[in-house]
Structure 1
Amino acid sequence: MTGTGGTGGTSISDPQGPVHSGGGDQNNTYYYSTGLREPLVRAGVDRREIVHEHRRRLAKCFVWPGGYARAADRLARPGAVVLLEGPPGIGRRSTATMLLVEASVQGSRIEELPTVREEESFEPSPDDRYLLDLSSIGDSDYPAAQRTLMSYRALVEESGARLVTVTPSGLEWMLDAELAPLVVHLERPSGRAVFSRHLRVRGVRFEYEQLDHGDLPHLFETAPMWELDRLAGLVVQARDRAGHGTSFEHWRDEAVAAATNWSQQVAGELRQHRGAEERALLLAASMTSGGPADTVLSAAYSLLGVLGHPQDETPRLARAGLGEQLEELSLAREDDGRVRFVRLAYDDAVRRHFWENFPDLRADFRDWVGACMELPGLGAEGRARLVARFAEQALRTDRPDDLHLLIERWTQPSVQGRLRAEAAAALELGLSHERYGSRFRSHAYQWVTAARLAPDLARVLTVVCRQVMAVTHPEQAMVRLRHLALRQENPEDIKAAARSALLELARGNRGLYGRLVHRLLPRARPADGGLDVLLALLDPAELRVHPPWQAFVFAWRAVMAGKPARAWSPPVQRWLAALTLRQVGEEVLNALLLAAYGDRDLLNRLYVTTCDWADSEPVDMPEGLRAQCGARARTADRFCREIDLAQGVGGLSSASGARATREGP
């Protein structure tokens, strides 16, 4: 992080997320990766609305890179597959997202595909839109990733869906000749336009010539798109700190200084403060900035303990007090007792410096953050900030396994559930990361399929799959929730929560409904709970889509054959009531008949169930329709005649006749 006069050029530290600046119904699923400080889970806010909010912001900020129009033209054709190629930092992933959004139709889904095919079958429909991000794939894994891409391509072309793939930079020479015609090369968009768009979207007023100053022109030519987004955010922070009465030039200069100069300032400060206690206090303050002063001090002592630093034998009263120590490090203790850095975003630069310049201590920093979770003065908000700040550095320095390890530690039985929220936050941040999100989804799959799974980790996975992954990657969430719901060793509360989340997903999407049935049928046995999930899936009470009828028939067949009639009769009767109210069509009767066809005992039980429903009090009807019991009788009579025909016998021809004996033909 140096100025333009340095040998390394100008760069901006601390990326906040992958937003490329510039420019529903139940089946709508929009993928969008958030930044580390923009969690998908917000109290009291619908998660889909958050995803849509990010998509709207991307659309407002997006500036077309060179090659965008050609890619959009190709993607307009049914079954199109487009590969985006270009240097890193120009917004390739955001470009892919915008291409898919603009190629969408009402009711379509946009979803990211895994780089490694999982157990689910891939069955795209013409309205589906897919993103495959291979940008972080290394040369050793690229051949296998291309084979996966080719398998996706064949199915997308056959179905008429659309697929946009982001290829890894620097590996163009490894691209299979069969895929070469699909490549569109992207060129860097105007950095000035990108930065300007971000400022305007954030409500910052400025004159165009005010951007021709200092390091800004160089940044416009060289900085990645997410760094320009970050810089615009710093301008807003500077404005809010100083008040709106100051000028844009003031906010601009403070933001550029925070983005480009603080690394030199931190390095110089550490040369002046070489003592372990001073440096520990500085790092602790940067990680717990905004927390109480005594918590900052406790965190510093904890760091020294983790590093095995010998204790200072000088009596405590003979050493500098906390206020003096903070002042020497240019830290402010405000009136509320909380510690903050005076300079804008200086805490970010301190964290970055320690992770960059002490790589041999990164594992110790991880263990220290884990130990800090038990500090009594930190509080829930402080722990959340600490998790986010650690995740930012761990992922920036290519150490996602540090987060995996902490998630496992925080969900061990010995922790007794105290850090479940922090584990969930860490997992959410990993899943939301542009580069490592796919790795965290794969790790989640490894966890749910492992021989042993800690109960609290299972609870965390259930919550995050339901609230985060289900919004951005519903099919992958469904796979993991199914394992959690059917895992025999899981406690009942975990299985119930996972089953509820699984059903919520499938009940709102016909494709997911069909795929869940497909996966459950081979193992739909009472012992593992698969039949219970199918039975709940067949109940119309909370179903929000018309089920795919082939899967509907197969599910009914399995449930009728594997569960007693007293279990499946109530949902059958609710379907009959829905048919009577004209909420569903005659295909319901056909599906039930097909499910029982060829099994005389099942047909008899279906017959009796229908008769019982016709005679029962119509509590499932609105008050105004209860008197119209004739409608129920007509539905029952029609269905019983169909059952007679399926049996191939004369027998009783109406439900009214069968009610005398409560037996079918």
Structure 2
Amino acid sequence: MTDSAGPSVTGSQEQVHTGTGHIFNFNRENPASLLADLKGKSPRVVAADQLAWLHQRFVHPPGFGDARDYLKRKGTVLLDGKPGSGRNAAARILLYERRDDAGTFHEVETREEGRPRLDPEIVGAGDQLLLNLSGADERLWSEVQDELATFRSTVVERQAHLVVTLPYQRATRLHTDLIDFRVEIGRGPGMDVLQSYLRKSGIPVSETLQPVPALSEHLDNLPPMREIAELAALIETARRRAREQGSFSDWCEHALNAVRDRAGQVAALLAELPSGRQRALLLTTAMLSGAHADDLHHATDQLLRTVNYPKDETPLLERADLAERFAQIKAEADADGTVRFIGLGYDAAVRAHFWNHVPDLRARLREWVGHAVESGRLAQRGRDLLIERFAEQWLRTGPPQALVALVERWTATTRWEPRLRAAAQVLEYGLKDERHGAFFRSAIYNWSGREGLTDELTQVLVGVCAEVLALSHPEQAMVRLHHLARRQREKTTAFEALLVLVRRDHWIRRRMLHRLERGLTSAKWQVDARLFLELSDPALLVSPGPRRAQPLLPDGVVRSQLAAGWAGVFRLLPQHEWNSPLSRWLFAACENDQYSDVFLDVLVAGAAHRPDILGALYTTARDWAAAGADSREDRAEVTARLLHKIGAAQRRRAAAPSL
């Protein structure tokens, strides 16, 4: 998290400002605003910024050049390497370098047992695909390996690019047809990686040249690359806290203290704090480090009430003030009232201690977080920090179902936006968790198909699907938004979010047309017909789309889907709803010589089994032709060709044997 104070969410009826930070107004027409960070950036923007940030600092490890060459020439590379070598970061950078290709980035998720583990249909033209198998067990690895060759052929056919991170020490049993795609990523020099991060943080090289034996010793122990990145951030923080005073050696010492095992220090401090009130303040400070002192005061009181701690009967003027109480736990408030521990990394050690060594407290802490969010006494920054740290610890130690229960609690009936924001953030952290991400994707799927969801839960799910799930699993986000759009009664946020997602690239649009074709065949959902009319804009069908993708209309499968879509529209919607979209198709047939007959053929195919619709189709076209004063001859010619095609369709229908 950043150190700057951020926006504060308000209630739906009036602006309530508690603590520091700016008022944040939730836009009910855009549920994604629930997930904006303290600077107002959406998760999509933050994710793009983070990847660009990593690319700027990334030091190419041994083997990276070969991996890049394999990906370029063969379309696939299998990355092997020891855990901690940075191969997952290397995989993302390899695909990031292909970001100007026609397709889009998405992660490949292995399917459950009993089905093919890999689905070739998720591969779009020019896509950048990441299949992370680094944590796969023996059975999953064996089953996926059996399917990789077939999956890779689809990748090649559609000119996509696939990077697979292999499970460590299992690559020696690679199938012979995959051996030539394996590249081992080595470990880059730790000091070079650290220096790259420090330079990009604004610390001049001249300040980091002095030898620091403790730093060299730490790097000689070969910590994982992610820990080196964290160490660089701690050094920069130590420098900032010292206001750039002192030496590089001093900053390194503070940072190294933060990454060393502080468990003993925390245990020793707790032994010096026999009072439950002191320990409550210690834990609260660890959970809200970086928040305002007022927030810590309110949250500590709430924690004591949650655990039924006896009320303090000491007269108010005889109690220790906050400054003294913070000093007892080795924390302090700065001039703005922001509270932090004096030692870097101390907050994380305290959180880990309580979660690891006081497991009976976890359920009470979940209740505490629930009450703290609902009380309205915390400023937005404090709430955000609390949710982030709580979700981190719970996902590390507790069953994820408890977080789902919190989401349902916060979205049951209330329209108060801080609860909705907290619910959205819990789902965001759950989706991003490597161990539990699949569980939360499944939970969202189950919710999205349920009738009678509260409007509050629907808004949260729309925002999370559009801004979090869509980043890594766009098709899954599309499916869940589609379910929500079908069931959303009064609001149209799921409908609009789905359109935004599908319009981003042709691959996801193609997948959505496939879903709509199936849905419209059953003639159950009017919303499917309305979605089809929005997504079948003729200008978009003949456009190359983002990143130079091929237009959709020349594809025979797409044309069949479009015909089925129009057939569903004619069955489900009254004519006044499809007159205007139909006129756009006729205009496209008039303006686009290359695809003129294709547009007309699709329309006639969609109406072929309905004589009444064929008649309405011609009547609408005739009225359209008469209305175009500037292009009446061209419109009349299109209408004449349409009439000819309608006649041919009627003759074919008459000649077809009856069943």
TM-score interval, smaller chain: 0.7 to 0.9
State the AA in 1 paired with 2:95. Answer: L
* TM alignment of 1:28-177, pairs within 5 A: 45=41, 49-78=45-74, 80-103=75-98, 105-116=100-111, 122-139=121-138, 142-143=141-142, 146=145, 152-169=151-168
TM-score (norm 2): 0.80
Instruction: Say if 1:181 and 1:453 are closer, same or farther in 2 by CA, change over 3 A.
Output: farther
Q: Name the residue aligned to 1:498.
A: 494
Q: Name the residue aligned to 1:604.
A: 615
Contact 2:101 2:127 (8 Å CA) reproduced: no
Give the whole-Å Cα distance in 1 for the aligned partners of 2:593 and 2:95: 34
Q: State the secondary structure of the residue aligned to 1:373.
A: helix
1:530 aligns with 2:528: yes
State the AA in 2 paired with 1:185. Answer: E
Q: State the secondary structure of the residue aligned to 2:214.
A: coil
Deviation sequence 1:449-488 (CA, Å, 0-9, x none)? 356644322210101212233344322210110111113x
Instruction: Say if 1:72 and 1:366 are closer, same or farther in 2 by CA, change over 3 A.
Output: same
Give the whole-Å Cα distance in 2 for the aligned partners of 1:132 and 1:45: 28
Instruction: Say if 1:500 and 1:583 are closer, same or farther in 2 by CA, change over 3 A.
Output: farther
Give the whole-Å Cα distance in 2 for the aligned partners of 1:293 and 1:409: 28
Q: Name the residue aligned to 2:29.
A: none
Q: Which moved more, 1:109-118 or 1:174-183?
A: 174-183
Instruction: Say if 1:123 and 1:378 are closer, same or farther in 2 by CA, change over 3 A.
Output: closer
Give the whole-Å Cα distance in 2 for the aligned partners of 1:257 and 1:106: 44
TM-score (norm 1): 0.80
Q: How far off is 1:294 after superposition? A: 4.3
Give the whole-Å Cα distance in 1 for the aligned partners of 2:167 and 2:493: 39
- Calculate the aligned-residue CA RMSD, in Å: 3.6
Q: Name the residue aligned to 1:570.
A: 580
Contact 1:238 1:251 (8 Å CA) reproduced: yes
Q: How far off is 1:404 after superposition? A: 3.1
Give the whole-Å Cα distance in 2 for the aligned partners of 1:219 and 1:513: 48
Contact 2:295 2:382 (8 Å CA) reproduced: no
Give the whole-Å Cα distance in 1 for the aligned partners of 2:220 and 2:623: 75
Q: State the secondary structure of the residue aligned to 2:123.
A: coil
Contact 2:77 2:182 (8 Å CA) reproduced: yes
Q: How far off is 1:193 after superposition? A: 1.4
Give the whole-Å Cα distance in 2 for the aligned partners of 1:649 and 1:115: 45
Q: State the secondary structure of the residue aligned to 2:205.
A: coil
Give the whole-Å Cα distance in 1 for the aligned partners of 2:593 and 2:324: 74
* TM alignment of 1:430-445, pairs within 5 A: 430-434=430-434, 436-445=436-445
Give the whole-Å Cα distance in 1 for the aligned partners of 2:599 and 2:205: 62
Instruction: Say if 1:232 and 1:220 are closer, same or farther in 2 by CA, change over 3 A.
Output: farther
Contact 1:84 1:183 (8 Å CA) reproduced: yes
Q: How many residues align?
A: 599
1:595 aligns with 2:606: yes
* TM alignment of 1:159-558, pairs within 5 A: 159-169=158-168, 182-207=181-206, 209-210=209-210, 212-219=212-219, 221-260=221-260, 262-311=262-311, 320-397=320-397, 400-413=400-413, 418-434=418-434, 436-450=436-450, 453-487=453-487, 490-493=488-491, 496-524=492-520, 525=523, 527=525, 529-539=527-537, 545=545, 546-548=551-553, 549-550=558-559, 551-558=561-568
Contact 1:292 1:377 (8 Å CA) reproduced: no
Instruction: Say if 1:401 and 1:225 are closer, same or farther in 2 by CA, change over 3 A.
Output: farther
Q: How far off is 1:552 after superposition? A: 2.5
Instruction: Say if 1:650 and 1:119 are closer, same or farther in 2 by CA, change over 3 A.
Output: closer
Deviation sequence 1:63-83 (CA, Å, 0-9, x none)? 2233323333332234x4433
Q: Which moved more, 1:57-66 or 1:539-548?
A: 539-548
Contact 1:289 1:340 (8 Å CA) reproduced: yes
Q: List alignment gaps of at least 5 residues for structure 1.
A: 1-13, 15-38, 619-628, 652-665
Give the whole-Å Cα distance in 2 for the aligned partners of 1:477 and 1:177: 36
Q: How far off is 1:215 after superposition? A: 3.6
Give the whole-Å Cα distance in 2 for the aligned partners of 1:583 and 1:217: 71
State the AA in 2 paired with 1:67. Answer: G
Give the whole-Å Cα distance in 2 for the aligned partners of 1:650 and 1:84: 58
State the AA in 2 paired with 1:192. Answer: M
Contact 1:286 1:347 (8 Å CA) reproduced: yes
Q: How far off is 1:535 after superposition? A: 2.4
Instruction: Say if 1:263 and 1:210 are closer, same or farther in 2 by CA, change over 3 A.
Output: farther
Q: State the secondary structure of the residue aligned to 2:213.
A: coil
Q: List alignment gaps of at least 5 residues for structure 2.
A: 2-34, 546-550, 652-659
Give the whole-Å Cα distance in 2 for the aligned partners of 1:65 and 1:649: 63
Q: State the secondary structure of the residue aligned to 2:344.
A: coil
Q: How far off is 1:425 after superposition? A: 1.8
State the AA in 2 paired with 1:88. Answer: P
Deviation sequence 1:19-57 (CA, Å, 0-9, x none)? xxxxxxxxxxxxxxxxxxxx8757655765544333322
Q: State the secondary structure of the residue aligned to 1:111.
A: strand
Q: Name the residue aligned to 1:5.
A: none
Deviation sequence 1:105-137 (CA, Å, 0-9, x none)? 532322111222799872524522210112334
State the AA in 1 paired with 2:377. Answer: G
Contact 2:298 2:378 (8 Å CA) reproduced: no
Give the whole-Å Cα distance in 2 for the aligned partners of 1:441 and 1:158: 29
Give the whole-Å Cα distance in 2 for the aligned partners of 1:119 and 1:479: 18
Give the whole-Å Cα distance in 2 for the aligned partners of 1:477 and 1:650: 41
Give the whole-Å Cα distance in 2 for the aligned partners of 1:539 and 1:49: 27
Deviation sequence 1:253-299 (CA, Å, 0-9, x none)? 22222332644432321221133221111111221234443432332
Give the whole-Å Cα distance in 2 for the aligned partners of 1:402 and 1:179: 42
State the AA in 1 paired with 2:202. Answer: G
State the AA in 1 paired with 2:387. Answer: V
State the AA in 1 paired with 2:217. Answer: P
Q: Name the residue aligned to 1:613.
A: 624
Q: Name the residue aligned to 1:10.
A: none
Instruction: Say if 1:600 and 1:428 are closer, same or farther in 2 by CA, change over 3 A.
Output: same
Contact 1:526 1:532 (8 Å CA) reproduced: no
Give the whole-Å Cα distance in 2 for the aligned partners of 1:285 and 1:336: 16
Give the whole-Å Cα distance in 1 for the aligned partners of 2:339 and 2:290: 5
Deviation sequence 1:529-565 (CA, Å, 0-9, x none)? 3222222323458887454441333322322343333
Percent identical among aligned pairs is 35
State the AA in 1 paired with 2:621. Answer: T
Give the whole-Å Cα distance in 1 for the aligned partners of 2:650 and 2:404: 66
Give the whole-Å Cα distance in 2 for the aligned partners of 1:57 and 1:321: 42
Q: Name the residue aligned to 1:17.
A: none
Contact 2:590 2:638 (8 Å CA) reproduced: no
Q: State the secondary structure of the residue aligned to 1:210.
A: coil
